[in-house]
């Protein structure tokens, strides 16, 4: 089987410099900007749903109620692994 020497340009988590990472907007922009494709990670929730997320933990996620007010109740989940959260819990968070 022949080996291809063609290099591919892949958007890491989409075009994350221009749109929130791992979103359809970031994936579309990566392709619009000339990427051949994009890379993303899939994680499994405790109820068996597959979700796209780079980190197995949500520590980097900042949840805001408004531009200045943090939702403390949602941030409580930030230290937990996605695998311990249900899909409904993750959907309740806002990036």
Residues identified as active-site:
12, 54
CA distance 15 to 56: 20
Give long-range contacts, CB 8 A cutoff, 24+ apart: 22-28: 22/52, 22/53, 22/54
Task: Point out which residues pair with 11 in neighbouring strands.
Answer: 38
Pair of tokens at residue 52: 């796209």
């Amino acid at each position: 089987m022949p080996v291809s020497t063609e290099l591919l340009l892949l958007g890491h988590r989409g075009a994350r410099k221009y749109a929130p990472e791992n979103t359809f907007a970031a994936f579309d922009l990566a392709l619009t900007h000339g990427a051949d494709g994009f890379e993303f990670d899939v994680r499994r929730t405790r109820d068996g749903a597959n979700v796209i997320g780079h980190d197995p933990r949500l520590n980097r996620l900042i949840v805001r109620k408004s531009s200045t007010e943090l939702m403390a109740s949602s941030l409580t989940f930030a230290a937990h692994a996605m695998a311990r959260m249900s899909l409904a819990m993750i959907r309740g968070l806002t990036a």
